[in-house]
Amino acid sequence: MARKSAVLIPVIIAAVAVGALGVAFVPKDIRDRDTSFPKGTVRIDNDVITVEIAETAAQQQRWMTFRQDRLPLDTAMLIKHDKSDLYEVWMLNIEYNLDLIWLDESGDVVYMIKNAPPCQNVVETVSCTYKTTKEALYVMAATSGFIDEHSISVGSKMTIISA
């Protein structure tokens, strides 16, 4: 038994170190990739919001990673999934705190988190993974302060104007 742990512990430590270094030193071409997304417009209650839409798997994977500039408070990222489910958001390689909003297929806000801090490192997965408790079709991410700026609450309604 001691032999297995004597081998496994150094292997695990090396794997974590390599993973952490890989994330810390992401190649410049990946960091500087085009971050433009298709744009649309939604209304949340009475406020009109510009949204960047992440609909494809590649766009959803990229979403807010490595973005240095904060989104203005009248703009958000809208992730549209294929079906309603309990979606989680892992905030690795996000540069600033976000407000996160989950919406159901009718556009009703079912869950939200204000001022969610990003991961500080690759090992920190539990404290920077945010989960809804209600099924949602959409996840909206915006600069921290967005929820308060637009007086959004559970039950607020999103209507898609253009996508």
Q: In terms of pLDDT, which residue wins out, 99 or 22?
A: 99
What 3-state DSSP class applies to 87?
A: coil
What local confidence, expressed as pLDDT, does residue 31 receive? 47
Return residue ranges of the chain for CATH 2.60.120.1140: 33-162
Rounded (10°) CA dihedral 50, 146, 89, 37: 20
Identify each DSSP E strand in 86-143 by its residue range: 88-90, 98-103, 109-116, 129-131, 136-143
pLDDT tens figures, 105-163: 999 999 999 999 988 887 777 788 899 999 999 999 999 999 999 999 999 999 999 87
What 3-state DSSP class applies to 29?
A: helix
pLDDT tens figures, 69-116: 888 899 999 989 999 999 998 888 788 899 999 999 999 999 999 999
Residue showing tokens 């973005």? 67
Q: Is the pLDDT of residue 5 over 50?
A: yes
Q: What is the pTM of this model?
A: 0.74
Q: In terms of pLDDT, which residue wins out, 55 or 61?
A: 55
Structure tokens at 11: 């292997």
Task: Tell me the CB-side half-sphere exposure of residue 131, using CA atoms within 13 A.
Answer: 6
Binning pLDDT at 50, 70 and 90, where does residue 2 land? low
47-54 and 75-85 strand pairing: parallel
What gap in Å lies between CA 139 and CA 109, rounded to an integer? 10
Binning pLDDT at 50, 70 and 90, where does residue 29 land? very low
Between CA 49 and CA 64, with CA 56 as vertex, the angle to 5 degrees is: 55
What local confidence, expressed as pLDDT, does residue 60 receive? 66
CATH number of 33-162: 2.60.120.1140
> Which residues, at least 6 apart from 51, have a Cβ–Cβ distance to it below 8 Å?
39, 40, 41, 42, 75, 76, 77, 78, 140
Binning pLDDT at 50, 70 and 90, where does residue 50 land? very high
Look at residues 60, 40, 58, 64 and name the one whose alpha carbon lies nearest to residue 50.
40
What local confidence, expressed as pLDDT, does residue 9 receive? 63
29 CA to centre of own chain: 21
The predicted model gives 62-74 an average pLDDT of 75
